[in-house]
Structure 1
Amino acid sequence: MIFSARLAAPRRAIAAAGAGVTLVLSLAACGSSDDSSSMPGMDHGSKPSTASSSSASPSTDGMPGMDHKASGNGLSDSQDGYRLTSKDTTLSSGRQAGYRFTVTGPAGKPVTDFAVDQTKRMHFYAIRSDLTGFQHVHPVMAADGTWTADLSALTPGSWRVFASFTPNAGPGKGEDLVLSRTVTVPGSAERIPLPAPAASTRVDGYTVTVEGEPMPGMAHPLTVSITKDGRPVTDLEPYLDTYAHLTAFHEGDAAFAHLHPTTEVSGGNGGPDLSFHAELPDSGNWRLFLQFQTGGKLHTAAVTLRVG
């Protein structure tokens, strides 16, 4: 699935550009079990969060957490009549927090019918403004259309939360949407410099290399190669119906891009090479979060990629 500047549908075929030069990128990563990363502030869990029976009402324009920015890249709380609403404008620091939200449709009523995408009806992301904190969870929905996303402990600062979904009925049926809002985590916030692109590094004993030549606003192929102890890794397990999950955020505005491998899944023997279509709309630094699984253990890698 690829979201370009217009959040294009992931099922749309994208013409691949010619192979580019090799880019060996700096990765900071760790592994985890039970479908969540243990890296501080960088979690990717798919365990269902606790459902909430309380409803979320639309916020008022101008209130914290309400964003009306340019369409595309997920940097808006509304698109094509659909709106992400929440009463939660702050979340507690240093402990698990539940973010409650509702998606309303063009008629202003909560949407309750969502299509399954990569085994889930809702993908939810939280990214810190300096791109050093990341979580990806799969919330659950109450009967009234209220979703609750259980997030691991957040560090103080400004965060942006994204809801990625596809309506299964109504005027937006089949349309892939990404909506977002901002939320504040109170406390003394320390801005952490974004790691610069650099040489590859070992990740839980794995070496990850990325090949390609992404250009802003153009579709280009990327290839991720994974080795361990100098040998190609061929035991990648399916995770969310793919061998790797890749999400990207743009430095400065946290614009969202979602890229999935085009490699066919054929059981628990993926690797060592995974092919991606990358369409990153803007030049500058992008922080990529790569997820892959081996032996039932999920590995999370953070990659800084310079585009343009």
Structure 2
Amino acid sequence: MLHTRFTELFGVRHPIVQGGMQWVGRAELVAAVANAGALGFLTMLTQPTPEDLVKEIARTRELTDQPFGVNFTILPTITPPPYAEYRAAIIESGITIVETAGNLPTEHVEALKPVGVRIIHKCTSVRHALKAESIGVDAVSIDGFECAGHPGEDDVTGLVLIPATTERLRIPVIASGGIADARGLVAALALGAEGVNMGTRFLCTAESPIHDDVKQAIVAASERDTDLILRPLGNTTRVARNAVSREVVQRLHDGGTFDDVRDLVAGVRGRSVYETGDIDRGVWSVGQSQGLVHDIPTVAELVSRIIDEAVDIINGRLAALTRR
């Protein structure tokens, strides 16, 4: 067992988090993560309405009696989702852990903290982590440049970003991006983190609610098989390299605007990839850690393996270095 401030504060057995993943963070995966002793998050915006979120929370509770949370992503958009209604659904459902991401969650922290909700805010830079701490979040998940989805615009990898963050913050820091096994967990702990967040690795598990062909594509891929799209627009996103991602990169390289790629990056196409297994149907998020993913275990097998191997590394190889 590995005990950290994170495991104590959030009431879980292991310092491992399954972060919110659009279209993926559903009851079957989150419950499996919770039952394995880690912390899983339902993805709020995967649910079309606040009422659907309430039902998904209830469905998760039918599958586990362990702690789990809800990912609350705040997107810059012309027509924002009904965040206040989703927030009310979270409170009314008795959820006590929320992972916020995207814009600074000041309004939501002010509403959730007084009713006993603990908040982890995901960010991509030290300055954003410090700001999140200043508004009262309980922990920060810091995303290195290796991560899937939005790595920010600073291009700082975890090896630098994690210690740069942990040496400045007083609250627990969760390391995110590029982590898929025990070696990543031990390295993150050595860099000052209190736990790790994994997306790509949990994406490729038996309980992950996506098509098996997508999981097999992750296993077959290397760390080089991702693309950074939307960079010229200041909205860098790391996705699996495929025909669509290459077309997006090329159109923007040739001077195109968002309107020239809007149809290619539509979320409905990415969701279709997960549902149909057609990996060239749209863009879909995956991190460089896919190069470390070589199988499709159950969540329980994965978490147990990571913890057991991490303890072996700490007590074995690393401890032996001090005895030579």
Higher relative contact order (CA 8 A, sep 6+): 1
Higher helix share: 2
TM-score band by shorter chain is: under 0.3
Higher strand share: 1
Report the TM-score when normalising by structure 2: 0.24
